[in-house]
C-alpha cells in the first residue's frame, strides 16, 4: 500500500502540469467544477489537482486512485482499439506478476464461487456486469466496463464430477495502451475482491 501512496502523490504532482479541461475533451470525458468525471466499474469519480474522490466525497483506496490518475495522465487521446481478448500473462512484461495475479484473481474467484454459480452471476450484475456477447464456452461469461475503453471479462466454469471450478479474467489487448501493467493488475484484483465481498457491499 505504501507503494501506491507514493505513486499517487507523484501522479498528483504530474497532474498539476496538465490542463484538465483539455485532457477531458481529448478523452471524451465530462469536466465538472475543474474535475474530470470518470467512471470506474460503474461508479463515478472526480479527478482534480487536489486528488481523487467519488461522488459521495469519499477517497478511494490509493491503489484505485493511482489507476484513475494513471489513466488520465497516460492518455492524451483515445488509443486505437484492439478487441482481441487476452489474459494478464499476455501483456508485455507481465511475467514476474503472473503467479500473483492468478492467485489473487482467477484462483480466488474459482474457490469462492465453486458450486455457487447463481451467487457469482448476482455479484457480477451488482457490479454493473452484463453478459458478454462473444461466443465463449463457459457456464458464465460477463463483461465489466472497468474504465472508458477498458472492458474486462470474466469467464467461469463451475465444478463438475471431473473438474474443479475454473475462472479466467480477460482484457482487450488495447488495455495496455490505456494503463501501465501495475494498473492492469489492480483492475483484476479489484474486480475479484469486489465480487467476493459483494454480499456485504451496498448496491448502487
Task: Render pLDDT for 98-153 as a digit per residue (tens, 0 to 9).
Answer: 999 999 999 999 999 999 999 999 999 999 999 998 767 899 999 999 999 999 99
Task: Write the pLDDT tens digit of every residue in 81-91.
Answer: 899 999 999 99
Domains in the chain (CATH in brackets) are 2-74 (no CATH), 85-200 (3.30.310)
In whole angstroms, what is the distance from residue 133 CA to residue 2 CA? 39
Q: For residue 38, name the pLDDT band (cuts at 50, 70, 90).
A: very high
Could you tell me whether strands 85-86 and 30-32 are parallel, antiparallel, or unpaired per DSSP bridges? unpaired
Helix (H) or strand (E) holding 125: helix 117-126
User: How crowded is residue 164: how many other Cβ atoms within 10 Å of its Cβ?
Assistant: 11
Residue 150 Ramachandran class (φ > 0 left, ψ -120 to 50 alpha, else beta) = beta
Residue 86 has phi, psi (to 5 degrees) of -135, 160
Report the pLDDT value the prediction gives residue 134, as an integer from 0 to 100.
79
3-class state of residue 17 by DSSP: coil
Q: Model-level pTM?
A: 0.92
Amino acid at each position: 500500500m505504501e507503494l501506491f501512496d507514493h505513486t499517487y502523490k507523484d501522479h498528483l504532482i504530474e497532474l498539476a502540469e496538465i490542463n484538465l479541461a483539455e485532457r477531458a475533451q481529448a478523452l471524451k470525458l465530462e469536466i465538472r467544477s475543474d474535475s474530470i468525471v470518470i467512471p470506474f466499474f460503474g461508479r463515478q469519480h472526480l479527478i482534480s489537482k487536489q486528488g481523487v474522490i467519488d461522488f459521495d466525497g469519499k477517497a478511494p483506496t490509493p491503489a484505485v486512485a493511482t489507476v484513475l490518475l494513471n489513466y488520465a495522465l497516460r492518455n492524451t487521446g483515445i488509443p486505437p482499439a484492439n478487441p482481441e481478448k487476452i489474459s494478464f500473462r499476455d501483456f508485455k512484461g507481465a511475467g514476474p506478476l503472473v503467479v500473483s495475479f492468478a492467485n489473487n484473481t482467477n484462483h480466488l474467484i474459482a474457490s469462492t464461487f465453486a458450486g455457487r454459480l447463481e451467487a457469482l452471476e448476482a455479484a457480477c450484475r451488482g457490479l454493473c456486469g452484463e453478459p458478454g456477447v462473444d461466443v465463449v464456452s463457459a457456464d458464465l461469461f460477463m463483461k465489466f466496463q472497468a474504465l472508458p475503453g477498458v472492458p474486462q471479462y470474466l469467464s467461469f466454469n463451475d465444478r463438475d464430477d471431473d473438474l474443479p471450478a475454473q475462472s479466467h479474467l480477460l482484457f482487450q489487448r488495447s488495455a495496455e495502451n490505456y494503463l501501465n501493467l501495475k494498473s492492469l493488475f489492480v483492475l483484476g484484483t479489484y474486480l475479484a475482491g469486489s465480487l467476493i465481498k459483494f454480499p456485504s457491499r451496498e448496491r448502487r
